[in-house]
């Protein structure tokens, strides 16, 4: 796993947006896997700015979101559809028909989840999957104990997640207890993953994910099995990493190699 440590949240957002923008420029019909929550908000703001100021073109981009609360319609301000419209889609030139978010009001969930997987496959799979991480190490709504081979399905939220997400709803009792989420197995099939984490509340989950054993109790740890994951962290989220200095050294050497400054590689 490649680990990039930025000074603060702004740095994480900027760096993550650069990876997304680079892909969109290189492959205009790319398939992005997108996430909700507070972590990717800054990245979305950067992408909107790149669209406005540099003409970053989303007209052919296809997106699939990770999850949605069961029972909420897309016009509900707490739904992830609403979140995505508000924080990204309404401000860029993406074709609304190419934006996919699980339907929290599907009638036959089993059939719908299978269909969601098929839609991803029909677009050729996810090129770049953006991920946040829960305090308990979950990715998407794959709560501790989720199968590491899981596919899109219904999942019950843990009390910890309900508590964490109450900040978006006003109170815990209003947070839906069920969500549709892509599985860990679905995420592992993406060609590349960008794992974003900011703040002290993520430090333990990040340590467990990057340096701990692979375990269904920390579903993000399954990313160790993926061959192209880039974790972009702020200083606080990286605080408990034992090999942090090594990760920074790898980045320094990579940058020198890319800049063709082979002589600098041996320097301290």
183 binds ligand PGA (CB under 6 A): no
CB of 134 or CB of 176, closer to ligand PGA: 134
Question: Residue from 38, 59, 93, 261 that binds ligand PGA (CB under 6 A)?
Answer: 38
Considering CB under 6 A, how many residues would be counted as binding ligand PGA? 6
176 binds ligand PGA (CB under 6 A): no
Q: How far is the CB of 123 from ligand PGA (least distance, A)?
A: 23
CB of 134 or CB of 183, closer to ligand PGA: 134
Q: How far is the CB of 37 from ligand PGA (least distance, A)?
A: 3
- Tell me the residue number closest to ligand PGA, measured at CB: 37
Q: Which residues are catalytic?
A: 67, 136, 138, 143
39 binds ligand PGA (CB under 6 A): yes
33 binds ligand PGA (CB under 6 A): no
Cβ-based neighbours of 3, under 8 Å, separated by 6 or more: 210, 230, 231, 233, 238, 241, 244, 247, 250, 251
The residue behind tokens 């320094």 is 252
CB of 48 or CB of 98, closer to ligand PGA: 48
The encoded tokens of residue 132 equal 């946040």
Q: How far is the CB of 140 from ligand PGA (least distance, A)?
A: 7
The encoded tokens of residue 229 equal 């994951």
CA 52 vs CA 57, 98, 237, 251: distances in Å: 9, 20, 31, 30
CA 127 vs CA 23, 24, 120: distances in Å: 9, 10, 10
37 binds ligand PGA (CB under 6 A): yes
In this structure, the chain runs to a length of 268
Of residues 217-246, those binding ligand PGA (CB under 6 A): none
254 binds ligand PGA (CB under 6 A): no
134 binds ligand PGA (CB under 6 A): yes
65 binds ligand PGA (CB under 6 A): no
Nearest-CA neighbor of 85 among 71, 70, 68?
A: 68
> If residue 5 lies in a helix (H) or strand (E), which one and from where to where?
strand 2-6
137 binds ligand PGA (CB under 6 A): no
Q: 195-232 burial, b for 16+ CB within 10 Å, e for fewer?
A: bbbbbeebbbbbbbbbbbeeebebbbbbbeebeebbbb
List, as one string, the DSSP characters of 112-124.
HHHHHHHHHHHTT
In the stretch 114-133, what mask flags binding to ligand PGA with x, by CB under 6 A?
------------------xx
Q: How far is the CB of 162 from ligand PGA (least distance, A)?
A: 11
Binding site for ligand PGA (CB under 6 A): 37-39, 132-134
């Amino acid at each position: 796993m490649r680990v990039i440590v930025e000074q603060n949240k702004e740095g994480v957002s900027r760096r993550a947006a650069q990876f997304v923008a680079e892909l969109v420029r290189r492959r205009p019909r790319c398939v992005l896997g997108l996430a909700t929550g507070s972590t990717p908000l800054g990245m979305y703001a950067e992408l909107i700015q790149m669209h406005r100021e540099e003409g970053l073109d989303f007209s052919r981009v296809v997106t699939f979101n990770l999850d949605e609360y069961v029972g909420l319609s897309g016009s509900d301000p707490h739904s992830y559809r609403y979140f995505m419209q508000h924080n990204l889609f309404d401000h860029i030139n993406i074709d609304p028909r190419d934006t996919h978010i699980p339907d929290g009001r599907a009638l036959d969930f089993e059939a719908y989840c299978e269909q969601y997987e098929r839609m991803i496959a029909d677009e050729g799979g996810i090129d770049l999957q953006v991920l946040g991480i829960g305090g308990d190490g979950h990715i998407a709504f794959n709560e501790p104990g989720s199968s590491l081979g899981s596919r899109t399905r219904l999942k019950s939220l843990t009390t910890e997640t309900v508590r964490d997400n109450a900040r978006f709803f006003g109170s815990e009792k209003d947070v839906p207890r069920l969500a549709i989420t892509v599985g860990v197995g679905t995420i592992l099939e993406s060609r590349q993953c960008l794992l974003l984490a900011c703040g002290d509340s993520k430090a333990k989950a990040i340590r467990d994910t990057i340096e701990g054993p692979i375990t269904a109790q920390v579903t993000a740890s399954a990313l160790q099995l993926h061959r192209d994951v880039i974790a972009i962290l702020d200083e606080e989220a990286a605080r408990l990493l034992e090999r942090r200095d090594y990760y920074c050294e790898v980045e320094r050497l990579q940058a020198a190699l890319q800049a063709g400054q082979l002589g600098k590689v041996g320097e301290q």
